[in-house]
Amino acid sequence: MEQGAIEVPKGLDKVIVDKTSIASTDNEGHLIYRGYRAVDLAEKCSFEKTAYLVTYGRMPDGSELKEFSDFLASNSEVDDNTEKIMQLMPRGTKVIDLIRSVVSLMPLRERSDDKVLLEIAAKIPRISSDGYRIINGMQVLKDLNATYAERFYYLLTGSDDKESARYFEKLLILYMEHEFNASTFALRVTASTLADPRASVTSALAAIKGPLHGGANAEVLNYMLRMKSADEAVKFVDDKLAKKEKIMGFGHRIYKKLDPRAQFVKAQLKELARIKNSEGLYEVSTALEKEMWDRKQIPANLDFYAAIYMYLLGIDESFYTPIFAASRSFGWAAHYLEQVSDNKLIRPDSKYVGPEGLSP
C-alpha cells in the first residue's frame, strides 16, 4: 500500500470518487438526469429527447432533436460482415455476450468520440434482434421506419404496436442512466486509460451481464412466474429468508426506503395488467413487495417490476439484459465524454494481506 493511502469500505460503498453533472438523486430520493427527474422524463418526453439531454447536457431544440433522431435511425443497421460474425456464434450464446463480442469487432463509420458512441448505441437494438434470431435459426426482421422505441419494440417482438411501444419507451428512459453504477464505472475506468469508445463500451457490456447488475431482471422473472397467488408469494419470501438467500429485485445501494423508478413502473404495470388481462400477476407482485418490506424493510427496485412489465409486453426473457444495455449505452456515452474531458487515470491502491518473507 502506498504511504498516505486512504482505506475505504469494500465495494466503495458511500465513497465519492469523482464529480459528475450527468445524474444523481435529489433530496426526495428521485433519480435526476441533468436536473430533471427521470420519472417526469419518462412520463412526458420521448426516448430520443431524453437521450440527447443525457448525452449532451441540455434539452434539444426542434432541429437538434430531428438531426439526433435521424442519426440514430440512419446508423441503426449493421453491415454484412457484422452479420457474418453473428452467424459464427455458437447456438446457445446469450444475447448480451453476442452484443459484447460484436461491438468489440464491428466496423464504425463515425470518427468523433460522441458520434462513435452514438453509432454503437444506435446499432444495439438491431444487434440484439438479429443475433437472437440467427442463434435460434430464425429469419431476421426487415427494418421499420419509426421512432427509436417503436423500432426497438418491433425488433424484439415482431409487433408494430404503438401503444405497447410507448409503455416500453417509458422503461427505456428509466434505464438510461444511474450515475456511477457498476457498468458505468467499468466504462470510466477503461476510458481513463484513454482507450477508445468501443473498448470502453465493451468493458461496460461485460460488467452489465452480472446478476447483481443488469442480469437481475431476468432472475426476477424466473421466480415470479412460478407463483400463482399472494399466499405463494409470502411462502416464497419465508423460504428464502429462512435460508438467508438473496431475493433478486429487492434492495439498492441508493434507495433504502423507496425506489421512485420502481413505483412509477408499478403504476404503469397496473394499467398494463388490466389491458393484458393479467391482474393476478400484478397482485402477486405487490404481495411479494409488501411482504419483503414488512419482514425486512427492503424496497423493491426497478428490476423487480421491470421484469414483469417486459413479460406482459411480450418480450422474451433473453432480451432483458440487452434492453438494459441498449438504453444505458446513452448514459455510457455521456460518461465517456465526461471522463475524457477532465481525465485522470483511475488506479486505486490495495491493502496486501498475503504471506510475506517466503523464499523459493
**Would you please indicate which residues are annotated as catalytic (active-site) residues?**
213, 252, 303
Distance CA 333, CA 51 (A): 10
Instruction: Give me 220's grid cell.
Output: 426476477
Which one-letter amino acid corresponds to residue 203? Answer: S
Instruction: Map the chain to HEC letters.
Output: CCCCCCCCCHHHCCCCCCCCCCEEECCCCCEEECCEEHHHHHHHCCHHHHHHHHHHCCCCCHHHHHHHHHHHHHCCCCCHHHHHHHHCCCCCCCHHHHHHHHHHHCCCCCCCHHHHHHHHHHHHHHHHHHHHHHHCCCCCCCCCCCCHHHHHHHHHHCCCCHHHHHHHHHHHHHHCCCCCCHHHHHHHHHHHCCCCHHHHHHHHHHHHCCCCCCCHHHHHHHHHCCCCCHHHHHHHHHHHHHCCCCCCCECCCCCCCCCHHHHHHHHHHHHHHHHCCCHHHHHHHHHHHHHHHHHHCCCECHHHHHHHHHHHCCCCHHHHHHHHHHHHHHHHHHHHHHHHHCCCCCCCCCCCCCCCCCCC
